[in-house]
Amino acid sequence: MAVVEELLPVTSRSALLGILLMLLSVLYFFSSRSRSQKKEKEPPGPKPLPILGNLLHLDLKRPHLSLLSMSKQYGSVFTVHLGPRKVVVLSGYETIKQALVNRAEEFENRDLNPLFTEYNQGYGILFSNGKNWKTMRRFTLSTLRDLGMGKKGSEEKIIEETCYLREVFEQFKGKPFRTSEPVSYAVSNVISAIVYGSRFEYTDPVFIDMVTQAKENIRLVGSASIQLYNMFPWLCSWVKNRKRIMINREQFVKEVTRLAGKLQETVNPQDCRGLVDYFFVRQQKEEESGDRNHLFHKNNLIYTVTNLFAAGTDTTAATLCWAFLLMAKYPHVQDQVQKEIDRVIGGRQARMEDRKDLPYTNAVIHEIQRIANIVPMSLPHTTTCDVHFQGYFIKKGTCVIPLLTSVLRDENEWKSPNTFNPEHFLDDKGQFVKRESFLPFSAGHRVCVGESLAKMELFLFFTSILQHFSFTPPPGVSEEQLDLTPAVGLTLSPCPHEMCAVVRNA
């Protein structure tokens, strides 16, 4: 200032001083405002380490349990750093409903981590965004409805498959066996009948490979090494599970391409056999219209079918495996279910219209879904814009994890959240009660496209199998020794186990 004072007259010095003071005041105002905004609006969370973030706070085999524990400390909206990446976690029924349902458009995008990006390449339903996602989801929903999803059409396909599954169970003659393989084949065949228009034999080696590859990939996606790869993509050369996932994908895509190609040769627009036929008919219409940028091309067909097959098989099959395991674990519940089935249905085939007359059985199925907690962290979302939510600021493009396990185990919503208790879905008169906080299929714009089909499958498979079989632990194993610890994976399936399906003399 001494130099300035020597060069400028008094009035100029005063004016310059005033300008400097004004600039300093403005800078201070904005910097303090920025600091206060950052402190006020960013969701709280554990302090991250450089590069590692909150990696040391997480059990990568059971990340949903780590996040659930954090929610008790930091609240229903909090921040966790997965490596260098900032992620916002939503916990509890009210918070997740507010985000995914009440403000669905702001939270509707799918987070495309390195593996999902590499695997689906932005096509299909599960791992795409924008126009592609909206177009494929709209087409898939309308087509599934045309094919009878949730109606008589799909009911007949499921009933047919229950007969094949019963035959497999009978072959073991009450001796211990693993339920996971035949159950997966049965559920996969329901999807196959809807997608391709026909089912496969359980002994078909190609079909067995497709089911095995889909199940293995879902398991590997939830492994610790894949989670680390998504945090630090430069690790790709050292992650064996990533290589295995991509090999499975290549083989699966090759087979879907072959099956779709065979159907294309005989497609009849007047008599579509399944979703693939509907896709080819729509593709032809788009091409005839002259739209060169239409989305009904090979990649979207392949990855839409892949998404439906993998997601539709794994979640429903895992739930049924939990169902049979829980019936062996809690025989008094199994007895009550069977008594109700015997009284209402007798020896005839169960139908969806029977559900209203089977309140206890319906409650047990819902409680199985709740306690099984198949997709505990849902699939991650991202915000489509800057969001002000519950007093916090969430930047556009932020990864958001709706912690579904916090909904299904919400202490404010369930009387005994960590206990298998069918009474959660029954009133004082023993009638079935719907619960708003029952969200196993997620909610909002990204809710499972096959929700009504899955509900139908669970009811018809469960009632049909319990009508004919009672489940017991293997010889030498007590009910108390049956392990309910889930296996590691993107979804929570029971650990590999054997049990006995004993034919009933009802």
Parse the chain into domains and list their residue ranges: 45-503
Is residue 412 within 8 A of residue 479, CB to CB? The reply is no
What pLDDT is stored for residue 149 in this prediction?
Answer: 82
Helices (H) and strands (E) in the chain — how many of each? 17, 9
Q: Which of 187, 213, 219 is nearest to 200 (CA)?
A: 187
Structure tokens at 91: 């916990």
The pair of structure tokens assigned to 129 is 């965004």
Q: What is the DSSP string of 467-483?
A: HHEEEEPPTT--GGG--
Structure tokens at 216: 């293995």
* Residue carrying the six token digits 């211990």: 176
Pairwise CA distance, residues 422 & 352, whole Å: 20
pLDDT in the model for residue 226? 95
Extract the tokens encoding 491. 């979804």
Count of all residues that appear for the chain in the document = 506
Which amino acid is residue 266, in one-letter code? T
- What topology does CATH give the domain 45-503? Cytochrome p450 (1.10.630)
Surface-to-core class of residue 150, CB atoms within 10 Å of its CB (0-12 exposed, 13-18 middle, 19+ buried): middle
Q: What is the dihedral of CA 87, 227, 108, 187, to 10 degrees?
A: -150
DSSP string, 401-413: EEEHHHHHT-TTT
For residue 228, the SS3 value is helix
Query: In a structure prediction context, what are the per-residue pLDDT tens digits for the chain, which is 506 residues long?
Result: 333 333 333 334 444 444 444 443 334 334 444 444 445 589 999 999 999 999 999 999 999 999 999 999 999 999 999 999 999 999 999 999 999 999 999 999 999 999 999 999 999 999 999 999 999 999 999 999 998 887 777 899 999 999 999 999 999 999 999 999 999 999 999 999 999 999 999 999 999 999 999 999 999 999 999 999 999 999 888 999 999 999 999 999 999 999 999 999 999 999 999 999 999 999 999 999 888 789 999 999 999 999 999 888 999 999 999 999 999 999 999 999 999 999 999 999 999 999 999 999 999 999 999 999 999 999 999 999 999 999 999 999 999 999 999 999 999 999 999 999 999 999 999 999 999 999 999 999 999 999 999 999 999 999 999 999 999 999 999 999 999 999 989 999 999 999 999 999 75
Residue 121 amino acid letter: Q
- pLDDT (0 to 100) of residue 40: 56
What the block records as the tokens of 37 is: 């905004």
Distance (Å, rounded) from C-alpha 131 to C-alpha 306? Answer: 19
The H-or-E segment that residue 88 falls in is strand 85-91
AA letter at 132: N
User: For residues 323 and 318, what is the distance between their CA atoms, to the nearest angstrom?
Assistant: 9
| Cα gap 265→131, rounded to integer Å | 29
